[in-house]
Structure 1
Amino acid sequence: MLLNHLEISCRNLTKAKQIFASNFSLSLVNEHKDSCILKSNNINLYLKKSPSEVSRVTNIAFTCPNLTILKKNLANKLKTKTSEVKENCRYHPGVPFVDVASPFPALSHRVYEHSSETHGEVSMSRDIDHVLICCDKRTAKLHAQWYAEFLNVDPYPLAGSPSGSMKVAVNGSGMEMFVNCSKGSDLPIFAFSEPITNSSTGCNQIERFLKANHGGGVQHIALKSSDIFQTVHNLRENGVRVIQQPHSYYELEDKLLQFNDLGIDPVLAYENSVIVDQDQDGYLLQVFTESLLEKDGMFLEIIERRGSRGFGQGNVKALFSALQKKMESSAVS
């Protein structure tokens, strides 16, 4: 399968349209009273008005070569029900598709059959690196397994863990993450995180996201960049706010060595909120925006990979710590 588009249900469609068009330079290519389509390079977003009190990704759509085979495989592997084949989609009129229920009540998947209509819109992974989905406690591994079967991909081992998971903890509050990675196709990476807390630490940011969004769903989407500093400059010029890391992060010995290996001035990295990590395959650089549409809601990540195929355990911890601090100060917008 290949990624076709993301559909976002918006509490305030006008605000969402302005943010994605003005702040992220997506082009408005089609507009209706209650929905619109925005595109940029290989990014396809379909925004629709929703009476819900929260904006969220409600559909991640794909294309596949044969819907009949897909339906059979889903019925056999996952015991998942799909809709009958339809052709009345507003986005791709006349193109056969089926709807697939996901493990998350507010998130579904529309799968189109490959056609000339969808052929030019199946390369979103050229611009989307990964999608991270927040899950309830003790469910992330099960959801990762469901998506591995649905997308026909494999688990990706993180941080050398035999279970393939990554755990981070900050002052007794933390998260565990599982990842699916398709080595033989053009799908983005799908990651699944769940909260780890004890009774004395209270609510962490993943639990707060789950509460604000009434359950599990897409917390952030990571966009690829070939020059993360230029990307951050452009975003800030357009009014996008990014999450600032503490200055102490840029004084850590291992981070100084990593920035030095890449020929990057740590001061410049601090000024642009760029964080770095390294694995056996190389380096990655990351920046995270603040919540886009509502407090504790979806945000975007900008990622530049210089060889690395992982997520950077140190960066995951740094992000978790920064978001936790921002949550505790009630500064997330």
Structure 2
Amino acid sequence: MAASARGLCHIAFHVPAGQPLAQDLQRLFGFQPLAVREAEGWRQLALRSGDAVFLVNEGAGPQEPLYGLADTGAAAQALVARGCSLPVPPVTVRDSQGIATYAVVRSPVGNLSLTLLERAGFGGPFLPGFRPLPSATRPGWISHVDHLTLACTCGSSPTLMRWFHDCLDFHHLPLSPGEDPELGLQVTAGSGQGGLKLTALQTPPGSAVPTLVLAESLPGAASGQDQVEQFLARHRGPGLQHVGLYTPNIMKATEGVAVAGGQLLAPPEGYYQQPGKERQILAAGHEPSLLARQGILLDGDEGKFLLQVFTKSLFPEDTFFLELIQREGATGFGQGNIRALWQSVQEEQASRDQET
């Protein structure tokens, strides 16, 4: 029996003291402080926008909550029975607001750990031991986490897919009609540029867990490393490449990020001049010139569209970025936009390499 996840509690990052991730999430993306915990020289700050919560750990260890379940103890036993490694067995923590129980599962994706969390008996704003923080009344642009994308080694997606299915009850989500789960969605980036293989996973209906996307490179690049391979090299293994944040108004969100000084990826040259692109944008009820001015990508058909914009890396190592996404009926990620993202990141990396 798998440990069925019911919802995403938060996404935790572990950064050196002084790294500006927490400040950037507030200043650039409208996240608000939720709660803080300080002990033994390190600091944990939880920030929220809508239902999306990021936990920034400065100097903390790797065992922090991620997924929420109904019964942590039973879930941990089920995972151990399947051969999973639990570096932290079920632990109960408490304060005046109540109790919560968590256990840490070591995933097969690099240094990514998944934490099972049960907090039905906790009445505070976040977790025991955290002090609530006053939040500004300014509304955020983000409503929830839409998806998580993991950069994986070439050929590893089928094995990872089976692990997430057997251990956490994820199932294959086809991104194209008749898609073979073993092959995923393969998007070639052009002659001599290789491409990308995506495998999407989701939990059963009724849960609030974001879609999980496994990304790996396709062979065929003429020279050098593509962005997935560069992530693997700079991150020293597989890991979380980007988080897709859902916004109900991507125009307003993108403008807010840009005004605040956020750096967004420019679409590849000629994106808006592709045959049929203007007609597609107009059919979705948007103005091509406005999307082009803000660098927003649009893809879809048959009345179902999605809009996306991507940030540049939030870390100097060029290993992690954010995506803003608005869905208008579309459930996938748009093959045209996947190809455009690939080209945009490649161009940005080439520009960085020239500067250095």
- Deviating runs (4+, > 4 A) in structure 1? 57-60, 118-122
Distance 1:158 1:75, change over 3 A: same
* Paired position in structure 1 for 2:83: 79
* Paired position in structure 2 for 1:46: 55
Unaligned ranges ≥5, structure 1: none
Equivalent positions of 1:313-328 (< 5 A) are 313-328=335-350
The answer to whether residue 23 in structure 2 is matched with residue 15 in structure 1 is no
Distance 1:326 1:14, change over 3 A: closer
How far apart are the structure 2 equivalents of 1:279 and 1:75? 45
Letter aligned with residue 309 of structure 2: V
Distance 1:89 1:210, change over 3 A: farther
TM score, norm. by length of structure 1: 0.88
Contact 1:205 1:323 in 2 (8 A): yes
The answer to whether residue 70 in structure 2 is matched with residue 65 in structure 1 is yes
How far apart are the structure 2 equivalents of 1:191 and 1:67? 25
* Paired position in structure 1 for 2:200: 179
Higher mean Cα deviation, 226-235 or 30-39?
30-39
Distance 1:126 1:80, change over 3 A: farther
How far apart are the structure 2 equivalents of 1:168 and 1:135? 16
* Paired position in structure 1 for 2:211: 189
Letter aligned with residue 85 of structure 2: K
How far apart are the structure 1 equivalents of 2:303 and 2:167? 28
How far apart are the structure 1 equivalents of 2:94 and 2:240? 23
Contact 2:155 2:216 in 1 (8 A): yes
* Paired position in structure 2 for 1:30: 36
Deviation at 1:12, TM superposition (A): 4.6
Distance 1:245 1:270, change over 3 A: same
* Paired position in structure 1 for 2:283: 261
Deviation at 1:23, TM superposition (A): 1.5
For residue 153 of structure 1, the aligned residue among 170, 173, 191 is 170
Contact 2:195 2:220 in 1 (8 A): no
Contact 1:280 1:308 in 2 (8 A): no
User: What is the RMSD of the two structures over their aligned residues, measured on CA atoms?
Assistant: 2.8
Distance 1:151 1:89, change over 3 A: farther
The answer to whether residue 261 in structure 2 is matched with residue 239 in structure 1 is yes
Contact 1:30 1:38 in 2 (8 A): no
Distance 1:19 1:199, change over 3 A: closer
How far apart are the structure 2 equivalents of 1:280 and 1:72? 46
The answer to whether residue 148 in structure 2 is matched with residue 131 in structure 1 is yes
Deviation at 1:27, TM superposition (A): 2.1
TM score, norm. by length of structure 2: 0.83
The answer to whether residue 279 in structure 2 is matched with residue 288 in structure 1 is no
C-alpha offsets along residues 170-220 of structure 1, whole Å, 9 cap, x if unaligned? Answer: 233212110102351111000001112347422111100111111000000
Distance 1:258 1:189, change over 3 A: same
Equivalent positions of 1:194-205 (< 5 A) are 194-198=216-220, 200-205=222-227
Letter aligned with residue 198 of structure 2: M
Letter aligned with residue 233 of structure 1: E
Deviation at 1:116, TM superposition (A): 3.6
Contact 2:107 2:114 in 1 (8 A): yes
Contact 1:9 1:58 in 2 (8 A): no
For residue 103 of structure 1, the aligned residue among 96, 108, 120 is 108
Higher mean Cα deviation, 185-194 or 64-73?
64-73
SS in 2 for 1:187: coil
Contact 1:44 1:121 in 2 (8 A): no
Distance 1:13 1:59, change over 3 A: farther
Letter aligned with residue 34 of structure 1: W
Deviation at 1:37, TM superposition (A): 2.1
Contact 2:42 2:60 in 1 (8 A): no
SS in 2 for 1:253: coil
The answer to whether residue 166 in structure 2 is matched with residue 162 in structure 1 is no
The answer to whether residue 159 in structure 2 is matched with residue 142 in structure 1 is yes
Deviation at 1:93, TM superposition (A): 7.3
Higher mean Cα deviation, 105-114 or 272-281?
272-281
Contact 1:279 1:310 in 2 (8 A): no
Equivalent positions of 1:273-312 (< 5 A) are 273-279=295-301, 282-312=304-334
SS in 2 for 1:87: strand
Higher mean Cα deviation, 94-103 or 323-332?
323-332
> Percent identity over the alignment?
22
C-alpha offsets along residues 3-57 of structure 1, whole Å, 9 cap, x if unaligned? Answer: 11111011354422221121122222325352222222222221122499xxxx9
